[in-house]
Amino acid sequence: MQLVIITGMSGSGKSTAVNVLEDMDYYCVDNIPPELIIKFVDLCENSGGMIKKAAFVVDVRGGDFFLKLQDAVSHLRSSDVDLRIIFLESADSVIARRYKETRRKHPLDESAGGSVTKAIQLERGLLMSAKAMSDYYIDTTNYSAAELRSRLYSIFEETSGEHMRVDVRSFGFKYGVFSEGDLVFDVRCLPNPFYIPELKHKTGLDPDVSGYVLKFEESRELLDKFCDLIDYMLPLYEKEGKAQLVIGFGCTGGKHRSVTFAEAVAEHLRSKGRKIRIDHRDIDKH
């Protein structure tokens, strides 16, 4: 049985996530006490496998029941269930804004004395263990609903092969740090094509931009060092059972240097037989 637990911060997109999984034919239950997940699995196993895929949203709305999540996860992972945990969060300011826009009450509103800011801080504390247990971490601060949907499809699409999938992303620091990355590299130390008039409005997908970035000896040497480091680390992550690794490359605007390096590293990993997915978060921003 394939089982997904969706947890994380209130206002971070859990409802969108569970809707996506429902569209992917998962049997979905929102706001379920963790102990009941075990009973649900037992029920499914005794019913002849009528339900093969299920997803549950478990969060602080469950009150004291939520504190049993770690025990439930330990039990499930010792069974034959294929369990994956997704943890969603966003920046405090974004969550506060979303609550203001929807005019909904935060689940910890009463404990926080009506302060959304304090409620968010309390919730982060309560979710620390859940975050540590998660298999996939998604920061939705800069995501639209469509982008979150695409991200989830990329996680749950059918894949094959013995290696984990590697997601390579580029981003611009001016639009926010890329907090989803397992490995994040800053390439702002390299010459910037932005200051070359004929390259300013192009991107690292253009051969003349990537050619400019990589024509410098320090750029080529840095790329070689990145590839050597990543090649060394990937088997270590696989040994620990990691199913997906996210590597981020950042520059100032996310259009030139970071895109060049993301593409170059992705191509290097493909040549090694790795399953690669690449995305350029800020390439179309101005």
Same domain as 131, residue 24: yes
What total number of domains does the chain contain? 2
Is residue 286 one of the residues assigned to a domain? no
What pLDDT score was predicted for residue 44? Answer: 84
What pLDDT score was predicted for residue 162? Answer: 47
What pLDDT score was predicted for residue 161? Answer: 43
Domain final residue, candidates 139, 156, 173: 156
What pLDDT score was predicted for residue 146? Answer: 80
Structure token digits, residue 17: 């996530």
- What is the rounded distance in angstroms from the CA atom of residue 200 to the CA atom of residue 274? 32
Strand order in the sheet with 183-186: 183-186, 244-251, 165-172, 275-280
Q: Residue 67 belongs to what domain range?
A: 2-156
* Angle, vertex CA 260, rays to CA 250 and CA 152, nearest 5: 60
Structure token digits, residue 217: 């000896």
- The pTM of the full predicted model, rounded to 2 decimals, is 0.63
> Tokens 């480091």 identify what position?
229
CATH of residue 121 = 3.40.50.300
Is residue 275 one of the residues assigned to a domain? yes
With a cut of 50, which residues of the chain have pLDDT below it? 158-162
> Which residue, 131, 109, 140, is CA-closest to 122?
109
